[in-house]
Amino acid sequence: MGPTTTSHGATLFGLTGADIGTILAAMAMLAVFVAIYAASTVRDPMAKRVKALNERREQLKAGIAASTSKRRAKLVHQNDTTDRMRDLMKNLKVLQDDQLKAAQIMLAQAGIRSKDTAVTVIFARMVLPIVLGGGAALAIYGFGAMADYSPFTRFFAFAGALLGGYKAPDIYLQNKITKRAALIRKGVPDALDLLVICAEAGLTVDAAFSRVSRELGTAYPELGEEFHLTSIELSFLNERRHAFENLAARVKLEELKGVITTMIQTEKYGTPLASALRVLSAEFRHARMMRAEEKAARLPAIMTVPLILFILPTLFVVILGPAACSISKAF
């Protein structure tokens, strides 16, 4: 429907120019209010994590699993499905303790704290190959999908679906572990510098970890969360070495494992902590600079393909275009 003319002037879908201007102005004001609200209600990403860790610390000290009946009911509801999965796999005798521990370690490295999720991961490894492989077999051999392809290609598609269903949970977790380790790696040198300052200021190890977690929580929330959890474990575990070993197990990062080894040795032999951490911090900064230089050295080789495909043809057109036009006019 196009614009029509009435006694009040031109209209569009029954709305005059004044009505359309009013609607647009109202939408603009609404967008401004939403932007102001979003800017004024920015929350600290570490506040919720720190609160949950403090609640867990109090629960461990009191020896209880939940503080309220509502939270207890929520936990029971969450564990109901997991218990059914566990019972089913135990009846089928496919749930092994070492497999469960390995899945729990992977979940901890991915930042997932719930140990019951390990049962879900193992159950997904068992169910997804059946679902995806069975669906692919039914589609390929039952309904005639991919009929134009050779038998080898169809079997390869079926095997790929079967293997993909088995490896999908591990690939997902490994992806999360890699991304989380990369985020933590960026903050390790800064965390070591802050630990050196705290150690030279006379703070204890658990107080130093707690202080560093608060300072780095905004810039590196994953590292701040791990340090705060370590500070909590340092305060109630019998041996500090166990807290450091738990930190090394939760983070799949060789640099952090070197820091943990150094801190365990300083606790055992009484060597100065600040000097050892200062040396490690310098090494990590040098390694980070070397990684940046390595990426910069790879740029010429990476830029070769875009240069050949996109830049050189355009350059040839610009350079040879006038000459080609002149030649065509001469002939």
Report d(CA 248, CA 255) in Å as an integer: 10
pLDDT of residue 68: 44
The two tokens of residue 93 are 């005798």
Q: pLDDT tens across 178-209, in order?
A: 999 888 888 888 888 888 888 888 888 888 88
Helix or strand or coil: residue 4?
A: strand
Please state the separation of Cα 137 from the chain's center in Å: 34
* Phi, psi at 11, each rounded to 5°: -130, 160
Return contacts of 119-126, CB within 8 angstroms, 24+ apart: 119/82, 119/85, 119/86, 119/89, 119/95, 120/82, 120/85, 121/169, 121/173, 122/89, 122/94, 122/95, 123/85, 123/88, 123/89, 124/168, 124/169, 125/166, 125/169, 125/170, 126/89, 126/94
Helix or strand or coil: residue 9?
A: strand
In the numeric block, the tokens 């790929």 are attached to 160
Q: What is the DSSP letter of 146?
A: T
- Tell me the pLDDT of the chain averaged across its residues: 78
Q: Which residues of the chain have pLDDT under 70?
A: 1-15, 17, 38-53, 56-79
Cβ atoms of 131 and 165 closer than 8 Å: yes
Angle at 182 between CA 176 and CA 184, to 5 degrees: 100
pLDDT of residue 175: 92
Report d(CA 247, CA 222) in Å as an integer: 12
Q: pLDDT tens across 36-88, in order?
A: 776 666 555 566 666 666 776 666 655 544 444 444 444 444 567 777 777 77
pTM for this model (two decimals): 0.63
* Phi, psi at 221, each rounded to 5°: -65, -35
Helix or strand or coil: residue 5?
A: strand
pLDDT of residue 12: 59
Of residues 256, 242, 120, the one with CA closest to residue 181: 256
Report d(CA 220, CA 111) in Å as an integer: 14
